[in-house]
Amino acid sequence: MMNTIASNASTQTSSATTVLPNAQLPSISVPRISCPEPSPSLGESAAVLPPILDLPRPLPLWLDPAYARHIVKGNFMTLSARPKTVDPGEWVAHQVVEHYRNLWNFVRVVHAKEDNGDSICSPSSCPKMSAGENHSYIWLDQDHDPVDLPAYEYMTLMQRWISGKIDDATLFPTHPSSVSYSNHPDYTPSSSSADADSAPRPAPKDEWLGCRSGFPKHFSETAQLIFRQIFRVYAHLYWDHFVTPFYHLNLEKQLNSCFSHFLLTATTLDMLSTDELEPMQYLVDLWAADGTLPQGSRPYLHANLERGRYLMELGRRE
């Protein structure tokens, strides 16, 4: 899936962004989804009363059900759930690397230089690291002072920071001598049927995520920070770059697939709280209503299904 993204971006970005620069967006024929005022007729056709419309105006293209689809079908929870024989720390580390790799394939598209030397995401096009009008993010410098940076610089620093963490063998241990497995409960002898020497030993009182595989105590905290940064970049890509370049490069389904997989993984592993999903809550609502997010998953339980169904109805009326 991600090889397709890389190849599509490399073969199409240059021509597409030259023909369709940001400055020419008003003349581009881009599908739009209208956001009408509540009306009895719309409520009747939707079989629900129109919810309070706190939706952004104009409505972003990624909230149109026709452009919120995926390249694959199925339950992403099966990809997010940890196999029983894999150590929890190893599984989180694997997910960090995989989702970071997926994300950076998309970031490379908006960071690629055009013929004029500028990138799609530049200090002039994105002076702040934002996700819509109500959410912006700051960077902490070496002195832990908040710094307001353009999105391009923010994402560049984020890439260096995450890469440095992943390459740190003390944080992401790779030595084969470290324990990297978890006992399968179906094949682990119980204390009643096994010798004293083979009986499962009680977990130490001071135990943390990945301690049995050599991960340090602060690994979980660092992994949460990485997942949080990944979410912020996804949110920026949706709010500021969904149309150009991803829609014009026919990459919106790949973006949707990777992001929904990321949401389920991050929340399932307690790496991201549902409250942190607020910048993308409208899309969470839509995906919960259309069945993308499995019932019982944390994003689904946190979703506004009424608003999601209303978004689906708006798409049908176009």
CA pair distance 158, 202, nearest whole angstrom: 39
Q: What is the DSSP string of 163-182?
A: HHHHT-TTTS---TTS----
Which residues are documented as binding site for Zn(2+)? 121, 126, 236, 241
Residue the block writes with tokens 């970031």: 107
Highest mean pLDDT, choosing among 56-65, 178-187, 285-294: 285-294
Of the ranges 52-56, 199-203, 213-217, 218-222, which one carries the lowest mean pLDDT score? 199-203
Task: Supply the mean pLDDT for the chain.
Answer: 80
According to CATH, the topology of domain 2-10+39-175+209-316 is Butyryl-CoA Dehydrogenase, subunit A; domain 3 (1.20.140)
CA 55 from chain centre, in angstroms, equals 21
Residue the block writes with tokens 């599984």: 91
Q: Around Cβ 296, how many Cβ atoms within 10 Å?
A: 8
Q: Report the pLDDT value the prediction gives residue 162, as an integer from 0 to 100.
A: 97
Which residues are documented as binding site? 121, 126, 236, 241
Which tens digit of pLDDT belongs to each residue from 237-277? 999 999 999 999 999 999 999 999 999 999 999 999 999 99
Of the ranges 8-12, 84-88, 156-160, 221-225, which one carries the lowest mean pLDDT score? 8-12
What type of residue is 231?
Answer: F
Which tens digit of pLDDT belongs to each residue from 8-58? 444 443 333 322 323 333 333 455 555 544 443 333 434 444 555 577 878
Of the ranges 17-31, 222-236, 265-279, 294-308, which one carries the lowest mean pLDDT score? 17-31
Percent of the chain with pLDDT strictly greater than 70 = 73
83: pLDDT strictly greater than 80? yes
CA pair distance 232, 160, nearest whole angstrom: 15
Q: Do residues 55 and 35 make contact, with C-beta atoms less than 8 angstroms apart?
A: yes
Q: Report the pLDDT value the prediction gives residue 26, as an integer from 0 to 100.
A: 34
Q: Report the pLDDT value the prediction gives residue 135, as an integer from 0 to 100.
A: 95
Q: Do residues 234 and 262 make contact, with C-beta atoms less than 8 angstroms apart?
A: yes
Q: Residue 136: which pLDDT band, with cuts at 50, 70 and 90?
A: very high
Q: Check residue 33 and report its DSSP letter.
A: B
> Is the pLDDT higher at 186 or at 233?
233
Q: Residue 137: which pLDDT band, with cuts at 50, 70 and 90?
A: very high
Q: Report the pLDDT value the prediction gives residue 57, as an integer from 0 to 100.
A: 79
| Residue 113 three-state SS | strand
Q: Report the pLDDT value the prediction gives residue 308, as an integer from 0 to 100.
A: 95
Q: Do residues 65 and 312 make contact, with C-beta atoms less than 8 angstroms apart?
A: yes
β-sheet bridge partners, residue 140: 146
> Is the pLDDT higher at 213 or at 198?
213
Q: Report the pLDDT value the prediction gives residue 178, as an integer from 0 to 100.
A: 52
- 144 dihedral zone (left: phi>0; alpha: psi -120 to 50; beta): left
Task: Give residue limits of the domains in the chain.
Answer: 2-10+39-175+209-316
CA pair distance 220, 222, nearest whole angstrom: 5
Does the model's pTM come out above 0.95? no
Element (DSSP H or E) covering residue 154? helix 151-166
206: pLDDT strictly greater than 80? no
Kindly report the CA angle at 256 between 252 and 257, in degrees rounded to 5?
120
Length of the chain: 318
